[in-house]
Every structure is written in structure tokens, then in C-alpha cells.
């Protein structure tokens, strides 16, 4: 798909068809994520692809809606065919850059996640970036080791409903040109 179309067609998709996604397609998404920039090219990330329905239910139980950590879970995630949990591996970053490295390290994860989302669009899939979850609970559900922090949940599937394009700020309003 043409880049301009991919980037303009990306939406936060929250309703999916009941249709399996092949492992190859999910691995292709991770391959695209792995090409993202990261500080010192340290690639401080791990992608956990979950297709198991029971585990997806447990992951959903760690989520919350809005800003309140005790509010109701984001049950719409259950319609996803797979869930990719993106984890931060802080050790290589802190070893090289100390505490200063954390923000750049997490920015690298953001870049990788955007690649995941665009890759999904390119293959006819939909996805959504989810950060409303209780991190400690999600770590327990996934049995993550101490050196791995879940940063985002990306539910993926074939879209059942593609939302209208939400309004974005005009380019001239968010740009300062210094010539």
C-alpha cells in the first residue's frame, strides 16, 4: 500500500471481525516494529503476541477505562484476534546512559509501536494503542521477569468497524518555520 494511504488510513480500531490472523502476518508486524530507531540502536524492547483467549481475558482484566485505575476494564479488547504486549527492557539503556536514558528508551518504544500500527494498516488489519492498564497486574498475568516492563497493549484484528477520521490540528497551527 502506498505510504500516504497507510498513514492517512490509520485509525484506532476497537471492533474486530472474528477471524484469525496468521502467525506470519503478526511476525511481519513485529519485523516492521523492529526496524524503528532506538537510542544507540539498543532496541530495548520485547513483543509478546497473545492469541490464547483465556490469557487475553486475563489481560483485559488488568485494563481500565479513562484515567481512573479502578474504573471498568476495556472489554472491547476481547474482540481482537491477537494482542501484542510491548515491553521495555531498561537494562541495556541504563547500562549505557544511566537514568537519563529512560525517556529516550521509551521514545524508541513509541516509534516501534507506531511502526506496528502502520504495518497493521498496510496488511488490511486494524489496531489500537492501549496504555490504560495496571502495570504490576499485567506483569503478573504474563509472568514477566523483573527486567521487563509492559508499556503498551496493542489489540489487533480485521476491522469490523473503522471509525471516522478524528479531527487533527491543522499543520500550520502546529508548525514553526525558522528560515
Ligand X SMILES: Cc1cc2nc3c(=O)[nH]c(=O)nc-3n(C[C@H](O)[C@H](O)[C@H](O)COP(=O)(O)O)c2cc1C
Q: Which residues contact ligand X (rule: CB under 6 A)? A: 11-12, 14, 74, 128-132, 166
In the sheet that holds 126-127, the strands lie side by side as: 45-50, 82-88, 149-157, 126-127
CB of 83 to ligand X, least distance (A): 13
Complex with ligand X: residue 116 or 142, whichever CB lies closer: 116
* Nearer CB in complex with ligand X: 22/155: 155
Residue nearest to ligand X (CB): 132
DSSP annotation of 69: T
Please state the closest distance from residue 130 (CB atom) to ligand X, in A.
4
Distance (Å, whole) CA 55 – CA 159: 21
Q: Closer CB to ligand X, residue 87 or residue 128?
A: 128
Cell of 79: 474482540
**Shortest spacing between CB 107 and ligand X, in angstroms:** 12
Residue closer to ligand X, measured from CB, 9 or 96: 9
Residue 88's beta-bridge partner residues?
Answer: 45, 149
Using the minimum distance from each CB to ligand X, give the nearer residue, 42 or 117. 117
In whole angstroms, the minimum distance from the beta carbon of 2 to ligand X comes to 19
Three cell numbers at 49? 503476541
Least distance from C-beta 154 to ligand X, angstroms?
A: 10
Kindly report the three-state secondary structure assignment for every residue of 79-143. Answer: HCCEEEEEEECHHHHHHHHHHHHHHHHHHHHHHHHHHHHHHHHHCCCEECCECCECHHHHHHHHC
Write the DSSP symbol of residue 130. Answer: B
Amino acid at each position: 500500500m502506498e505510504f500516504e494511504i497507510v498513514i492517512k488510513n490509520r485509525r484506532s480500531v476497537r471492533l474486530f471481525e472474528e477471524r484469525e490472523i496468521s502467525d506470519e502476518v503478526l511476525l511481519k508486524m513485529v519485523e516492521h516494529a523492529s526496524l524503528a530507531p532506538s537510542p544507540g540502536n539498543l532496541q530495548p524492547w520485547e513483543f509478546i503476541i497473545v492469541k490464547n483467549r483465556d490469557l487475553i481475558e486475563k489481560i483485559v482484566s488488568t485494563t481500565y477505562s479513562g484515567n481512573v485505575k479502578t474504573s471498568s476494564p476495556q472489554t472491547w479488547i476481547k474482540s481482537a484476534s491477537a494482542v501484542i504486549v510491548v515491553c521495555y527492557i531498561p537494562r541495556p539503556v541504563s547500562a549505557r546512559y544511566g537514568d537519563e536514558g529512560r525517556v529516550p528508551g521509551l521514545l524508541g518504544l513509541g516509534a516501534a509501536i507506531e511502526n506496528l500500527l502502520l504495518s497493521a494498516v498496510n496488511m488490511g488489519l486494524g489496531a489500537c494503542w492501549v496504555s490504560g492498564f495496571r502495570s504490576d497486574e499485567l506483569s503478573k498475568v504474563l509472568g514477566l521477569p523483573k527486567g521487563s516492563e509492559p508499556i503498551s497493549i496493542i489489540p489487533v484484528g480485521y476491522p469490523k468497524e473503522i471509525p471516522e477520521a478524528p479531527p487533527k490540528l491543522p499543520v500550520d497551527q502546529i508548525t514553526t518555520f525558522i528560515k
